[in-house]
């Protein structure tokens, strides 16, 4: 059982009726051993809840907590955000899972690109690079101003922060690949780390390719156990099938078959929509009663 | 297929036999030949048509009369060949003798001296390959299938004890102050936990999943091993003072080294199982609708996705499901698919029924329930539609050639026999490799090229104070073999702790 120490809403997407939440959760063991790039799996019900993987967005070993950031895209995340508050307990939380990000001192700059909800998992990687003295330029982007979050945190952890929005409502009006390409043209870029929607990562890889800059992408496929046991999260990387949970979650972006990954992520789309709809109806009914 | 007999009919038949046995005994004319003349008692089961649509246990267990009759078939031949066929050497003739005397508690206590999980082993052991294959009665009747039904008797007495609330929990010896970490709560881990706790050492079992029981919970379906039975065994261990830590992945949440140094454990046992599903590495294997058996079964069993009204974990709707493989896991997958609503379930196996590694009873049950077996066929590629969804599989026909290293006749492909089977889900049940997590996160832990932990004759690993057993050592095997390894490890660990 893991106590929720802090809960904050980071954004609200009117168009899709989706919110992004930040939860700071007591988890001393995970906080102690976790490294940048690793994730956890949580359940909101031990018997019937589904297992949801989330990359750790922040942690503090001394204080014994980790932070998770998630978007209310499905029934579980929606119910979690509406029924779990500060002081409540998350019944199941396991981690840290996956291989940590490979962080090493580089000559050139490290460009960290985060799109939408991908900004959260990028945060510890920016922090870790910064901590060992790498020069980090971070690009964060979203469709519109309201969907941006972690701007202050990212500014604090980066040498330079570039903010873009698709509609120009905040920062520069551009998609993340535009400043990424410019940086590759102007500067000596040693590595790019890109986390966001699969399609964004795919475009970042395409942007990096002409410059031959190594690019790491972090994949967020569907998982069950998260320990290598089921293979639900598998994706084609190079000519091999890899398990995101134990071989990843980070892979060389040039080798990831993003089309295969995007297809596999639609496997349960109909079910998810159905469950989300039922969940909303249920929560609304609850509200009326209250 | 023979007519399905209800429990009532089987009970009636048994009662009649029991009357005859008693009459003969009263006349003092009950000899060995009378015992072997008694027909083997059939296991009562749910009607195949009904059970193929529900998750309840298929085999219902002997009635008391059936158990008494079946026990009378044992001639107490001397030498106990059956016991030699048991990986944990259960004193089989002795426990059966107790049943013959009507002393069921005595019977179950006798088993528990060597096997702590009789309700589980009675259900999932491949008895026909172990104890029952050595049974003298089976040999006299020239068919191991006519052997004394040892497994069913084991199950009967264990269930009798549980349903009569007579389970006694052993009292551990006084606390020694020594701490042991058991990694994995499957059959090997639970066995080790019990054996070590009995000696008075403190035991903490670490389980990565949210529920304890390992493969008995995530892998073996409810209809073959009710989860309440596994939960009961864990509860008994808790009563003995064993501590369980779920959602704790040793290697990540804490490394083995951290447990042994910072957290003060004196010794550790690794029983993490064979948890890395094998794929075939053929075209189309990453299409939507292609599952490892682990995923397919974990969704249904551990995550309870079969309970559509309550579970959040979704199932993949499929009307035509093909399961690949011929072992117990393949049978579990095929029979689960039926229960989840598939209209057609195929089992594709590259050899024939005779070579199938699954328990005979599971294969028979799958046939009865309507699984369509495609023997001597093997997939060459999966076929998908434009959205990446599975729509079919190309199969190649085989014939049996010379015996291979396993002693089974090797399947040989017949070129040009490719043909397509229309399916919308595929379940790959070709076994597991070992999960690399422990070896990746533990310095100095020696493993084979397949990733199995290397141990000595006492289950000791290359690291001081660390033992291992079960599937992580054996590769994918059985519950009882895992328990056998656990017993051996626990004995060695207890000896080490006593001398410390």
Give contacts of B218 with chain A, Cβ < 8 Å. 225, 229
The Cα B493–Cα B458 span in angstroms is: 9
Q: Does B314 touch chain A (CB under 8 A)?
A: yes
Tell me what the mean pLDDT of segment A127-136 comes to: 96
Asked, for residue A263, whether it belongs to a domain, the answer is no
The answer for residues whose C-beta is within 8 angstroms of residue A36's C-beta and 6 or more apart is A100, A101, A103, A124, A125, A127, A128
Inter-chain contact A231–B311, Cβ cutoff 8 Å? no
Residue A173: count other Cβ atoms within 10 Å of its Cβ: 12
The residue ranges of chain B whose pLDDT is under 50 are 1
Residue A198: count other Cβ atoms within 10 Å of its Cβ: 20
Query: What is the nearest CA distance from A175 to chain B, expressed in angstroms?
Result: 27
Q: What is the CATH number of the domain that holds A276?
A: 2.40.30.10
The Cα A259–Cα B384 span in angstroms is: 14
Structure token pair of residue A7: 């809960």
Residue A48: count other Cβ atoms within 10 Å of its Cβ: 16
Picking from A176, A195, A218, the residue at the C-terminal end of a domain is A218
Asked whether the beta carbons of B267 and B465 are under 8 A apart, the reply is yes
- Which of B254, B307, B314 is closest, CB to CB, to A33? B254
The Cα B87–Cα A267 span in angstroms is: 43
* Residue appearing with tokens 């000559």: A107
The answer for residues whose C-beta is within 8 angstroms of residue A197's C-beta and 6 or more apart is A115, A116, A118
pLDDT at A288 exceeding the cut of 50: no
Backbone angles phi, psi at B183, to 5 degrees: -105, 110
Asked, for residue A260, whether it belongs to a domain, the answer is no
* Residue A92 shares a structural domain with residue A51: yes
pLDDT at A216 exceeding the cut of 90: yes
Helix (H, G, I), strand (E, B) or coil at A151: helix
pLDDT at A285 exceeding the cut of 60: no
Asked whether the beta carbons of B187 and B155 are under 8 A apart, the reply is no
In this prediction, residue A280 carries a pLDDT of: 66
Helix (H, G, I), strand (E, B) or coil at B470: coil
Q: What is the CATH number of the domain that holds A144?
A: 3.40.50.80
pLDDT at A274 exceeding the cut of 80: no
The Cα B218–Cα B432 span in angstroms is: 14
* Residue A133 shares a structural domain with residue A204: yes
The answer for residues whose C-beta is within 8 angstroms of residue B131's C-beta and 6 or more apart is B82, B83, B85, B86, B90, B92, B150, B151
Picking from A218, A236, A253, the residue at the C-terminal end of a domain is A218
Tell me what the mean pLDDT of segment A110-131 comes to: 95
Inter-chain contact B208–A227, Cβ cutoff 8 Å? yes
In this prediction, residue A286 carries a pLDDT of: 46
Considering only CA atoms, which of A123, A136, A124, A47 is closest in space to residue A92?
A: A47
DSSP-derived secondary structure for B432-463 = EEPPSHHHHHSTT--B-TTSPBP--TT-B-SS
Asked, for residue A223, whether it belongs to a domain, the answer is no
- A74 to chain B: closest CA residue: B312
In this prediction, residue A281 carries a pLDDT of: 66
Considering only CA atoms, which of B98, B154, B144 is closest in space to residue B122?
A: B154
Asked, for residue A280, whether it belongs to a domain, the answer is yes
What letter does residue B215 receive in the DSSP assignment?
Answer: H
Percentage, residues of chain A above pLDDT 90:
84
Q: If pLDDT is split at 50, 70 and 90, which confidence band does A289 have? A: very low
Give me the domain span that covers residue A157. Answer: 109-218
**ipTM given for this complex:** 0.90
Residue A233: count other Cβ atoms within 10 Å of its Cβ: 28
* Residue A117 shares a structural domain with residue A212: yes
* Residue A211 shares a structural domain with residue A117: yes
Structure token pair of residue B359: 């328990």
* Residue A113 shares a structural domain with residue A41: no
* Residue A84 shares a structural domain with residue A135: no
In this prediction, residue A275 carries a pLDDT of: 74
Query: What is the nearest CA distance from A180 to chain B, expressed in angstroms?
Result: 31
- Which of A29, A49, A92 is closest, CB to CB, to B254? A29
Q: What is the pLDDT of residues B10-43, one digit of tens each?
A: 999 999 999 999 999 999 889 889 999 999 999 9
The Cα B45–Cα B365 span in angstroms is: 10
Considering only CA atoms, which of B196, B183, B156 is closest in space to residue B245?
A: B183
Domains of chain B, start order: 7-163 (1.10.1060.10), 179-275+433-498 (3.50.50.60), 279-430 (3.50.50.60)
- Which of B255, B285, B288 is closest, CB to CB, to A263? B288
Whether residue B430 has a cis bond before it, omega within 30° of 0: no
Inter-chain contact A241–B311, Cβ cutoff 8 Å? no
Asked, for residue A261, whether it belongs to a domain, the answer is no
Q: In total, how many domains does chain A have?
A: 2
Q: What is the pLDDT of residues A23-43, one digit of tens each?
A: 999 999 999 999 999 999 999
Helix or strand run (H / E) with residue A75: helix A75-83
Considering only CA atoms, which of B243, B119, B113, B99 is closest in space to residue B181?
A: B243
pLDDT at A126 exceeding the cut of 90: yes
Asked, for residue A241, whether it belongs to a domain, the answer is no
The Cα B95–Cα B157 span in angstroms is: 9
What are A's interface residues with B at a Cβ cutoff of 8 A?
A: 29-30, 33, 38, 43, 45-51, 75-76, 91-97, 224-225, 227-232, 234-236, 241, 246, 260, 263-264, 266-268, 271-272, 275
- Which of A48, A228, A271 is closest, CB to CB, to B304? A48
**pTM for the model:** 0.92
Percentage, residues of chain A above pLDDT 70:
96
Mean of per-residue pLDDT scores for chain A = 92
The Cα B462–Cα B453 span in angstroms is: 9
Asked, for residue A20, whether it belongs to a domain, the answer is yes
* Residue A89 shares a structural domain with residue A117: no
Q: Does B307 touch chain A (CB under 8 A)?
A: yes
Considering only CA atoms, which of B196, B187, B221 is closest in space to residue B481?
A: B187
Give contacts of A232 with chain B, Cβ < 8 Å. 291-292, 295
Mean of per-residue pLDDT scores for chain B = 94
* Residue A145 shares a structural domain with residue A199: yes
- Which of B279, B288, B298 is closest, CB to CB, to A225? B298
* Residue A16 shares a structural domain with residue A113: no
- Which of B208, B294, B436 is closest, CB to CB, to A230? B294
Inter-chain contact B286–A235, Cβ cutoff 8 Å? yes
Considering only CA atoms, which of A78, A4, A94 is closest in space to residue A40?
A: A94
The Cα B413–Cα B367 span in angstroms is: 25
Inter-chain contact B253–A96, Cβ cutoff 8 Å? yes
Query: What is the nearest CA distance from A99 to chain B, expressed in angstroms?
Result: 9
Query: What is the nearest CA distance from B275 to chain A, expressed in angstroms?
Result: 5
In this prediction, residue A287 carries a pLDDT of: 47
Give contacts of A225 with chain B, Cβ < 8 Å. 208-209, 218, 298
Asked, for residue A61, whether it belongs to a domain, the answer is yes
Round the CA-based radius of gyration of chain B to a whole number and report it: 24
Picking from A201, A218, A235, the residue at the C-terminal end of a domain is A218
| Chain B interface disruption, residue of A28, A96, A226, A229, most B CBs within 10 A | A229
The Cα B81–Cα B90 span in angstroms is: 11
* Residue A153 shares a structural domain with residue A55: no
Inter-chain contact A50–B311, Cβ cutoff 8 Å? yes
* Residue A124 shares a structural domain with residue A195: yes
In this prediction, residue B294 carries a pLDDT of: 94
* Residue A10 shares a structural domain with residue A92: yes
Q: What is the pLDDT of residues A62-84, one digit of tens each?
A: 999 999 999 998 889 999 999 99
């Amino acid at each position: 059982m893991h106590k929720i120490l802090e809960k904050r809403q980071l954004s609200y997407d009117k168009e899709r009726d989706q919110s992004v939440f930040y939860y700071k959760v007591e988890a001393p063991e995970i906080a102690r051993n976790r490294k940048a790039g690793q994730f956890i799996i949580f359940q909101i019900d031990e018997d019937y809840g589904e297992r949801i993987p989330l990359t750790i967005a922040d942690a503090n070993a001394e204080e014994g907590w980790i932070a998770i950031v998630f978007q209310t895209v499905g029934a579980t995340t929606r119910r979690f955000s509406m029924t779990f508050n500060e002081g409540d307990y998350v019944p199941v939380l396991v981690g840290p899972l996956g291989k940590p990000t490979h962080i090493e001192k580089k000559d050139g700059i490290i460009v960290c690109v985060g799109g939408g909800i991908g900004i959260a998992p990028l945060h510890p990687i920016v922090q870790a690079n910064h901590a060992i003295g790498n020069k980090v330029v971070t690009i964060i982007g979203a469709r519109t101003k309201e969907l941006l979050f972690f701007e202050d945190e990212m500014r604090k952890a980066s040498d330079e922060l570039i903010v873009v929005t698709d509609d120009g409502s905040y920062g520069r009006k551009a998609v993340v690949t535009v400043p990424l390409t410019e940086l590759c043209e102007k500067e000596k870029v040693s590595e790019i780390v890109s986390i966001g929607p699969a399609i964004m990562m795919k475009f970042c890889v395409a942007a990096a390719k002409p410059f031959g800059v190594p690019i790491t992408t972090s994949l967020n496929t569907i998982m069950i156990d998260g320990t290598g046991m089921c293979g639900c999260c598998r994706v084609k990387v190079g000519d091999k099938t890899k398990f995101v949970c134990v071989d990843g979650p980070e892979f060389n972006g040039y080798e990831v078959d993003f089309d295969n990954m995007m297809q596999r992520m639609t496997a349960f789309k109909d079910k998810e929509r159905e469950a989300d709809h039922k969940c909303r109806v249920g929560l609304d009914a609850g509200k009326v009663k209250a | 297929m023979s007519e399905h007999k209800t429990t009532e009919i089987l009970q009636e038949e048994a009662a009649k036999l029991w009357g005859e046995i008693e009459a003969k005994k009263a006349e003092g004319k009950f000899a060995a030949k009378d015992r072997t003349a008694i027909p083997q008692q059939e296991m009562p089961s749910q009607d195949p048509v009904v059970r193929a649509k529900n998750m309840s246990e298929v085999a219902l267990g002997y009635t008391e009369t059936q158990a008494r009759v079946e026990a009378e078939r044992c001639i107490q031949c001397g030498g106990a060949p059956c016991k030699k066929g048991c990986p944990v050497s259960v004193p089989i003739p002795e426990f059966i003798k107790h049943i013959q005397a009507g002393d069921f508690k005595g019977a179950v206590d006798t088993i528990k001296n060597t096997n702590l999980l009789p309700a589980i082993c009675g259900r999932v052991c491949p008895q026909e390959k172990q104890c029952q294959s050595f049974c003298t009665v089976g040999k006299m009747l020239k068919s191991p299938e006519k052997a004394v039904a040892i497994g069913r008797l084991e199950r009967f007495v264990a269930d009798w004890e549980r349903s009569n609330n007579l389970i006694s929990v052993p009292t551990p010896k006084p606390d020694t102050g020594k701490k042991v970490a058991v990694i994995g709560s499957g059959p090997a881990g639970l066995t080790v936990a019990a054996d070590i706790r009995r000696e008075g050492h403190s035991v903490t079992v670490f389980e990565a999943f949210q529920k304890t029981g390992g493969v008995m919970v995530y892998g073996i379906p409810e209809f073959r091993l009710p989860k309440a039975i596994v939960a009961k065994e864990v509860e008994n261990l808790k009563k003995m003072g064993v501590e369980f830590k779920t959602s704790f992945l040793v290697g990540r949440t804490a490394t083995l080294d951290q447990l042994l140094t910072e957290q003060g454990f004196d010794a550790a046992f690794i029983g993490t199982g064979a948890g890395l599903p094998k794929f075939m590495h053929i075209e189309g294997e990453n299409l939507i609708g292609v599952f490892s058996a682990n995923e397919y079964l974990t969704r249904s069993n551990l995550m309870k996705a079969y309970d559509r009204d309550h579970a959040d974990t979704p199932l993949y709707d499929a009307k035509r499901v093909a399961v690949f493989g011929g072992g117990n896991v393949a049978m579990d997958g095929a029979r689960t698919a039926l229960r989840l609503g598939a209209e057609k379930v195929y089992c594709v196996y590259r050899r024939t029924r005779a070579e199938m590694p699954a328990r005979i009873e599971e294969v028979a049950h799958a046939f009865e329930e309507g699984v369509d077996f495609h023997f001597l066929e093997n997939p060459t590629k999966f076929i998908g539609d434009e959205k990446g969804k599975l729509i079919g599989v190309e199969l190649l026909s085989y014939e049996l050639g010379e015996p291979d290293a396993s002693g089974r006749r090797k399947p040989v492909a017949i070129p040009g026999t490719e043909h397509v089977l229309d399916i919308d889900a595929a379940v790959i049940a070709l076994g597991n490799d070992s999960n690399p997590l422990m070896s990746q996160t533990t310095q100095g832990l020696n493993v084979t090229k397949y990733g199995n932990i290397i141990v000595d004759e006492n289950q000791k690993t290359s690291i001081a104070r660390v033992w291992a057993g079960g599937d992580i050592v054996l590769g994918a095997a059985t519950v009882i073999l895992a328990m056998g390894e656990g017993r051996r490890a626990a004995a060695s660990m207890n000896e080490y702790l006593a001398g410390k």
